[in-house]
Amino acid sequence: MHASSPELYFAIAIAAKMALTGLFLVIATVLAERGGPLIGGLVTTLPISAGPTYLFLALDHPSQFIAGAALMTLVFNAVNTLFAVVYAVLAQRRSLAVSLGSALMVWLAAAPILPLVPWTLTSAVALNAVVVLLALRATRELRHTRAPRVPARWSDLLFRALGVALLVGAIVAFSFRIGAAASGMLATFPMVFSSVIFVLHRRVGGPASAAVLANAILGVTGFALAAIAVHVAAVPLGSFTALSLALAISFAWGGSILLLRRTRTA
């Protein structure tokens, strides 16, 4: 066996993980475009990018690493909520570059600061509660703009798949060097939000695209609950059991929101 075989196997494994994640993203975001603002928003808050990232991290790291990463993911779930608010408000009147660029600046400004804070589960939960409640109030009137259905283009699908696949590959490849907190932070980088915005804003307009992000704020609580589950359950139950529990929580939350909305409509 050649000396380079371990490196070759590692490269093949990373490529396979990237391809799987990209395929998952394409399926999920097509559903988001065709299902309307509510379904679109809820789909974008499912662990489309973070889920595969954590799965692959769990293959390479102990459960303590996964639990620590999940705490930082919970913290940056609040930052992603601010990202959605900034974009949704600005997109009513501003261009794609200004709206998306401003939202990304919020995330990038928080990235070097928040990991330095000695977060606990209690403080991270409190941060999410305050930010989500304020975000729901700020975007209450922006959730109901309808977007016309537009046919998917292969260039758009490729863009989405490539962006998230590269992010997942980078996190998994460098997770041994950057540690649990940075891995958890990067796992929540709003690549799914950004890719959906980049495609929809140009094709259906800012207000309709903003409606998807405004509805996504309804789903970030489910993502927060999933991150809490991983943080709490990874060590006592094992990483894969915790991740399975988190996935079930994410889908249960989204299903509950849809059921509540349909019940109220009826």
Per-residue pLDDT, 2: 43
Measured distance between the N- and C-terminal CA atoms of the chain, rounded to whole angstroms = 65
Per-residue pLDDT, 10: 47
CB of 187 within 8 A of CB of 52?
no
Looking at per-residue pLDDT, the higher value among 48 and 73 belongs to 73
State yes or no: pLDDT of 6 exceeds 50: no
Residue 236: pLDDT band (50, 70, 90) is: very high
Residue 77: pLDDT band (50, 70, 90) is: very high
Q: Is 253 helix (H, G, I), strand (E, B) or coil?
A: helix
State yes or no: pLDDT of 193 exceeds 80: yes
CA distances (Å), 233 to each of 61, 186, 204, 223, in order? Answer: 15, 21, 41, 15
Q: Please state, as a whole number, how many other Cβ atoms lie within 10 Å of the Cβ of residue 48.
A: 24
Looking at per-residue pLDDT, the higher value among 253 and 33 belongs to 253
Looking at per-residue pLDDT, the higher value among 88 and 27 belongs to 88
Question: What's the pTM value of the predicted model, to 2 decimals?
Answer: 0.81
Per-residue pLDDT, 150: 58
Per-residue pLDDT, 9: 44
State yes or no: pLDDT of 81 exceeds 50: yes
Per-residue pLDDT, 143: 83
Mean pLDDT of 140-169: 65
Number of H helices, E strands in the chain: 10, 0
Query: Both tokens of residue 73?
Result: 């993911």
Mean pLDDT of 102-113: 93
Mean pLDDT of 4-13: 50
State yes or no: pLDDT of 125 exceeds 50: yes
Per-residue pLDDT, 195: 76
